[in-house]
Amino acid sequence: MSQFDYPRHSGMPALGIGTWQNEDPEQCAESVRTALDVGYRHVDTAQIYGNEDAVGDGIEQADVDRDDVFLATKIWTSELSHDDVLESFEESLDKLGTDYVDLLYVHWPANEYDAEDTLSAFDELYDDGKIEHIGVSNFEPRHLDEAREALDAPLFANQVELHPFLPQAELREYTEAHDIELVGYSPLARGEVFDDDTITEVAEKHDASAAQVALAWAREKGVTAIPKATSEAHIRDNWGSLGVDLDPEDIEKIDGIDRREREVDPDFAPWN
């Protein structure tokens, strides 16, 4: 286990390993195993990533008990009718090699998504003990209102793109007000943080990498970041962000970056 303290948000480890585009089975399993051996205890995947079986292999190969891993996956938009949620989730469990997940997300409020129909299946899985927490992804405040109304169980988390160029202030305010955790994907803006002068300047001040600064900034905002990483070097570098303590001046500088852009913007996104 690493020398760093591992912050948690409502029991969820506040830094995870993302697996989007980690499609080579051996590489994916190895990166998950490596992350867990380094100290990570939060692993994020999704049906559409096509790697749930490899993620499960990596967890099995690591010298970590399954119950010590916070495992999250997501139901794709074509599987969001009530019955399809239940059926496809059983397939996900089989691929992951587990009988439960810690967090199950609606991946997007799109295609087959209907709040009442979809989330009634999530409530059923929650009541059956097959999921510990219910989450949604890429939801805006109006969708969160609708989901909270439809659910019997608590809405635990909303996963969205979040980084210094898309700080999601409105969603951070909303989720804090309603006791919902905010999980940030693409926290390095798909590598754009490495070329930003402000982030580089703060990184030099702390003898840290730009990635570590972006992740430390997210942590200061109360956000759980799940950076994608495949190589051991990047996995360890991201983990090192837990040892970076930004001061208020650093946060103010990063908050002042005059740049707003999305890296993930499909036609079916709710803001389009």
Q: Which residues belong to the active site?
A: 49
- What does DSSP assign to residue 153? S
Q: What is d(CA 242, CA 231) in angstroms, rounded to the nearest whole number? A: 18
Residues 6+ apart with CB under 8 A from 254: 164, 198, 199, 202, 213, 217, 246
Strand segments (E) across the chain? 8-9, 12-13, 17-18, 42-44, 70-75, 101-106, 131-137, 155-161, 181-185, 224-225
Pick from 39, 101, 33, 94: which is nearest to 71 by CA?
A: 101
What distance lies between CA 249 and its chain's CA centroid? 27
Residues 6+ apart with CB under 8 A from 32: 17, 19, 43, 54, 55, 57, 58, 59, 62
How many other C-beta atoms can be found within 10 angstroms of the C-beta atom of residue 165? 21
Q: What is d(CA 26, CA 144) in angstroms, rounded to the nearest whole number? A: 37
CB of 81 within 8 A of CB of 52?
no
Strand 70-75: give its sheet, edge to edge. 17-18, 42-44, 70-75, 101-106, 131-137, 155-161, 181-185, 224-225
